[in-house]
Structure 1
């Protein structure tokens, strides 16, 4: 007798379908599974591990004239190099006097490193050695698709960029100044919290990192969640938001008529405000409107076709990894709730002050410069509805320590490092002990 149970009763005795019916059903089921996988996850095995930047996917198809007319030409800065890594190629620029103060820039969530064009050139004129790079998924850097774009990935990218230099930026007696803007601000703060001995000066411009959770609206929770909707659909919706398209899409940059509650409804809008009005290349009216001066800002006077808004539109059209990187950054980057990491920076600065105070008391010839006093410089735009002065100043002072923070507020919006690059550099130079700010329009925020 067979030991297997009789399972014939579970099958119908009616005439059986022909084999091709089974094949059709199996094919339909397989197709459904494949479609579900491709629509639900950007990190499925069917996707490549790295999405190439326009350096590989676009430039080979263009003439020299067409390349020169791009919103972000590859030769826009001196000292360009493409750094190979397990995460894809990274575009890095480095120039300036080899013996000058070393300054590393980390840009925001949408505009590539050209956002720092004005600041970088002005610091080089003052004798600095500068390094800029495109974050993964921006500009001419590739996009790793199998990893979250979080503090770990961006910290690794900074180290890869530094290690690619022909000069020593790290090691014995080698430190550098770190400048981060918007998303780059929270990345710079996270990096400093892990590698304090490498950074001699931390400059945060309209930084994310302490964005209050109350600003995270339901639209962001839906658009940037995972597992609720197919990833392709989410990407389509986010793309329409960035482009400011119709059918209910929300432009990233609010209009001057929007109320603050409308502006701050979504934390992703807060960080993505640097996009400017990507729906139009025409300058907007209202110089203090968020994105107005940013969209019209001439990053390179001799190349007026290069602008932040044009660069973002170009990335949306030409960089296959831009949208996945943008969305992953919203989901996983250290945009908010970074109080513990910032507190760690503050504690180290306080301990550093105590150490220097002991040296000062034991030596009458000892004097502290601005670095040794141990402070973080935060530069804000007065009309920035995104990183709001009345929120970030008290929050930063609470976690870093009032004595460890210096705040400068300029007459600008969130686009402050672009539209006010000269004044920002003046404030930074004064902070470093290089003399009074040349333009004199910034003010140190009063203690509250």
Structure 2
């Protein structure tokens, strides 16, 4: 999953700033084996991070050895890793981090269904698998249809399969159907949209080829550091402040949130997280808002990179390279649009020539 969710950020870190980047799939995802006999909690994933670092032929350990970037649930794991091994990190960047998500944002019913044990594991796994196979857009469309019908005082008929498990599936959907609440005035990056779309295809690939994916997903909802991690975040705030009395250096920390994210809600985190760090005035945390919903590291990756480069104090060369990348992508997008428009127009001309008895001009095109 990391190659899609953080692939654009990783590639631009390498190309624009010369970083050495390590990406790896968490247990039960991508090409990583599942771990069926252990809960998928922060301890498991922090252990996996240490194993991944140790597996590299290049050195990653030592004091201030590397910068850690965590996204979504990975951000929640990164908080625990930072509090356990603070001396290893040069800095910590959290992108829409889990950990203090309010339960109502994540889905109260979903948490209850997955953690209570009242639903047989096999049934829950079947419903989860079926819901993950369905494209996200279809779930959102169904929700919108129900809202529209409710406003008009209508009742939509339910298919028999949906009726049989509608309560359970609704609960499962609460944990999966996340999207932007509104459209940004600034359009997303064209290639970023394509990367975001690949995530759904990759999930369906894992459902077909990775037997450990669904159990890992279900265990994450139960055990991963998604909500209620107040103690770990309080410890992170102490690290961000530093302590000269204890000989503890200050850990540079940057938190990046999407303005339209309805999972890691900006307003919630401003109320719940910023006070832990003494507010923005304390200078203990760099707090940045960027366009987009929960997938902003894919759809608005260059906004993320500008924040990170500024936080790191990178040279102007990195920002110049990033701007050049943006210009190249815009040119490619523009050329593709013009080619498509030209091809469509040419085909219309050819159709008119055919209808009038004239020999059409042959036009080669790529789409």
What do residues 294-326 of structure 1 show as CA deviations (whole Å, max 9, x unaligned)? 9972339xxxxx811211121122211111000
Gap runs ≥5 in structure 1: 1-110, 260-265, 278-285, 301-305, 358-371, 441-448
- Counterpart position of 1:135: 26
Q: 1:119 aligns with which of 5, 9, 15?
A: 9
TM-score normalised over the length of structure 1 = 0.57
**Residues 307 and 225 of structure 1, relative CA distance in 2, 3 Å threshold:** same
Q: Does 1:337 find its partner at 2:217? A: no
Task: Determine helix, strand or coil for the equivalent of 1:129.
Answer: coil
Deviates more, 1:112-121 or 1:387-396: 112-121
Task: Determine helix, strand or coil for the equivalent of 1:426.
Answer: helix
Pairwise CA distance, 1:328? 0.3
How does 1:106-185 map onto structure 2 within 5 Å?
Answer: 111-125=1-15, 126-171=17-62, 173-185=63-75
Answer 1 or 2: which has greater strand percent. 1
Contact 2:93 2:253 in 1 (8 A): yes
Deviates more, 1:199-208 or 1:232-241: 232-241
- Counterpart position of 2:313: 433
**Residues 130 and 218 of structure 1, relative CA distance in 2, 3 Å threshold:** closer
- Counterpart position of 2:273: 396
Answer 1 or 2: which has greater helix percent. 2
Q: 1:385 aligns with which of 262, 279, 287?
A: 262
Contact 1:208 1:271 in 2 (8 A): no
Pairwise CA distance, 1:225? 2.3
What do residues 380-429 of structure 1 show as CA deviations (whole Å, max 9, x unaligned)? 11111111110112211123443222211111111010111122111101
Partners of 2:219 and 2:56 lie apart in 1 by 28
Deviates more, 1:311-320 or 1:159-168: 311-320
TM-score normalised over the length of structure 2 = 0.69
**Residues 313 and 239 of structure 1, relative CA distance in 2, 3 Å threshold:** same
Gap runs ≥5 in structure 2: 149-169, 324-367
Pairwise CA distance, 1:293? 8.0
Larger relative contact order (CA 8 Å, sep ≥ 6): 2
Pairwise CA distance, 1:352? 4.2
Which of the two has higher C-alpha Rg? 1
Task: Determine helix, strand or coil for the equivalent of 1:417.
Answer: helix
- Counterpart position of 2:363: none
Q: How many pairs are equivalent?
A: 292
Q: 2:300 aligns with which of 417, 420, 424?
A: 420
Pairwise CA distance, 1:374? 3.9
What do residues 48-77 of structure 1 show as CA deviations (whole Å, max 9, x unaligned)? xxxxxxxxxxxxxxxxxxxxxxxxxxxxxx
- Counterpart position of 2:118: 228
Q: Does 1:193 find its partner at 2:193? A: no
Partners of 1:430 and 1:256 lie apart in 2 by 44
Note the aligned Cα RMSD (angstroms). Answer: 3.7
**Residues 255 and 133 of structure 1, relative CA distance in 2, 3 Å threshold:** farther
